[in-house]
Structure 1
Amino acid sequence: MPIYEYGCSDCGNKFEKLVKISDTNVPECPRCDSSNVHKAFSTFGIGGCPNTGAKAESKKPSCGYASGNSCCAGCGA
């Protein structure tokens, strides 16, 4: 089962939900219980920084954010 990212149009909450591919129901927002929820565009990285493509331990991402030896996962900067 994949993990999908969602955004609530009512309160602005962003959350993740483990959902069966065959499930067509839209989840409710865990913060405000609204059903006015949409799938958000999500990013992922494999072994490097999403903004620069560099190895996480060798360079900071172009947005300047790094936490220890890891990069942000698409901070949007």
Structure 2
Amino acid sequence: MPIFEYKCSDCGHEFEELVFDRDECPPCPKCQSEKTGKLMSAVRSKIAGGASAPESGGGDTDAGSSFSSSSPCSGCSGGDCSNCG
């Protein structure tokens, strides 16, 4: 179940909501208005070493920047073990 970001047209409140139907727009938790709309969000994912990086493929990061493919611990090689984190 994805978490989407919404904005209320009446009061301007921005909020996140876990929804079952991706076309559903939940009411505003602040003013209870039904006039809410889904916002566009940046997609992020976790990579080896616990850092996160944008998935967009463009922007201000390049392949050789500060992200490392080696693990920060000696317990694994992918940054996905009980010692990492």
Instruction: Report the TM range for the smaller structure's normalisation.
Output: 0.5 to 0.7
Identity %: 41
> Stretches of 4+ moved more than 4 A in 1?
none
Q: Displacement, 1:14?
A: 0.5
Report the TM-score when normalising by structure 2: 0.52
- Other-structure match for 1:48: 53
Report the TM-score when normalising by structure 1: 0.57
Which residue identity is paired with 2:61? G
User: Is 2:29 aligned against 1:30?
Assistant: yes
Q: Quick one: distance in 1 between partners of 2:4 and 2:23?
A: 13
- Other-structure match for 1:10: 10
Q: Quick one: distance in 1 between partners of 2:6 and 2:26?
A: 9
Which residue identity is paired with 1:2? P
Which residue identity is paired with 1:35? E
Q: Which runs of 5+ in 2 are unaligned?
A: 46-51, 67-85
Q: Displacement, 1:25?
A: 3.8
Aligned residues: 56
Task: Please tell me whether Structure 1 or Structure 2 has the larger radius of gyration of its CA atoms.
Answer: 2
Q: Displacement, 1:8?
A: 0.4
Say which SS state the counterpart of residue 16 (structure 2) adopts: strand
Which residue identity is paired with 1:36? K
